[in-house]
């Protein structure tokens, strides 16, 4: 049996005595007859389950998604979720490619969707697909250890079109490296005022100077502004903290794929 809801169509299983699946199609009318399931859309009659193509309804191809949570010891402690692994069948003959990607990772201590993992992030280990939790590219978290300040810049010049040379009175140190994102903000009474603005991406580091590429919509800093930088969010991921972790897996296969289990390496967070 299927029910047509506002945002999806849900199916009811007599064996499970529940609603095990949600579908993306929205029929105008549904009926089961002679061991087949029929529905109407746009005045046309469609018979379901007549070919091997999965997730294709009324000529539109959809992806399969599964949303769930990791929530051991719900109220006892804040946890650090380090990894994700799952057991699943693979699509086609390419057993080196993971079937699922993680399109959303969030906890009760984060806003929005700070993390996701492509299929290529997962590697097969002992029959499971495994990956460390990754932050989304471009994620900016000034509370993270990958964020550091340099100081107020004393000179800003343009040695080559598309690049900006920033000079400081002190050495910029050895932690900053090529590829880091540079931000600038105005100081008011020695305190950063407002949200730091992206200035560019580091292309070279030398003594008390750094050179950045002026990539749109970045805005080069002005003399006197406080300059800081942050490492690549994907490479510098340290897991996700929270009482629980909500995740969403997705695959775009047109062939049948089974997902057997999903797990995570979890430890108590000790800030």
Highest mean pLDDT among 52-61, 93-102, 130-139, 243-252: 243-252
What are 185-240's pLDDT values in tens digits?
Answer: 998 988 888 889 999 999 999 999 999 998 778 888 999 999 999 998 888 888 88
Helix/strand/coil (H, E, C) string of the chain?
Answer: CEEECCCCEEEEECCCCEEEEEECCCCCEEEEECCEEEEEECCEEEECCCCCCCCEECCEECCEEEEEEECCCCCCCCEEECEEEEEECCCCCCCCCCCCEEEEEEECCCCCCCEEECHHHCEEECCEEEEECCECCCCCCCCCCCEEEEEECCEEECCCCCEEEEECCCCCCCCCCCCCEEEEEEEECCEEEEEEEEEEEEEEEECCEEEEECCCCCCCCCCCCEEEEECCCCCCCCCEEECCEEEEEEECCCCCCCEEEEECCEEECCC
pTM, two decimal places: 0.77
What are 101-146's pLDDT values in tens digits?
Answer: 999 999 998 877 888 999 999 999 888 999 999 988 888 888 888 8
């Amino acid at each position: 049996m299927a029910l047509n809801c506002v945002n999806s169509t849900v199916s009811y299983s007599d064996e499970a005595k529940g609603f095990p699946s949600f579908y993306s199609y929205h029929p105008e009318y549904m009926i089961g007859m002679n061991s087949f399931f029929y529905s109407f859309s746009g005045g046309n009659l469609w018979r379901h389950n007549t070919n091997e193509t999965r997730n294709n309804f009324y000529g539109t191809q959809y992806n399969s998604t599964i949303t769930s949570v990791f929530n051991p010891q719900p109220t006892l402690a804040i946890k650090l979720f380090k990894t994700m692994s799952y057991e699943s069948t693979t699509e086609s003959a390419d057993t080196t490619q993971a079937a699922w990607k993680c399109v959303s990772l969030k906890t009760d201590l984060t806003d929005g969707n700070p993390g996701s993992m492509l299929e290529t992030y997962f590697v097969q280990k002992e029959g499971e697909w495994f990956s460390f939790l990754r932050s989304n590219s471009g994620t900016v978290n000034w509370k993270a250890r990958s964020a550091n300040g340099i100081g107020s810049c004393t000179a800003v010049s343009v040695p080559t079109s598309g690049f900006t040379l920033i000079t400081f009175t002190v050495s910029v140190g050895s932690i900053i490296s090529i590829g880091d994102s540079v931000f600038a903000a105005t100081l008011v009474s020695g305190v950063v005022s407002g949200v730091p603005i992206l200035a560019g991406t580091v292309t070279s580091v030398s003594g008390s100077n750094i050179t950045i590429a002026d990539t749109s919509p970045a805005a080069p800093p002005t003399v006197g502004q406080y300059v800081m930088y942050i490492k690549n969010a994907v490479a510098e991921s340290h897991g996700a903290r929270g009482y629980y972790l909500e995740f969403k897996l997705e695959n775009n296969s047109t062939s049948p794929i089974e997902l057997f289990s999903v797990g995570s390496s979890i430890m108590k967070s000790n800030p």
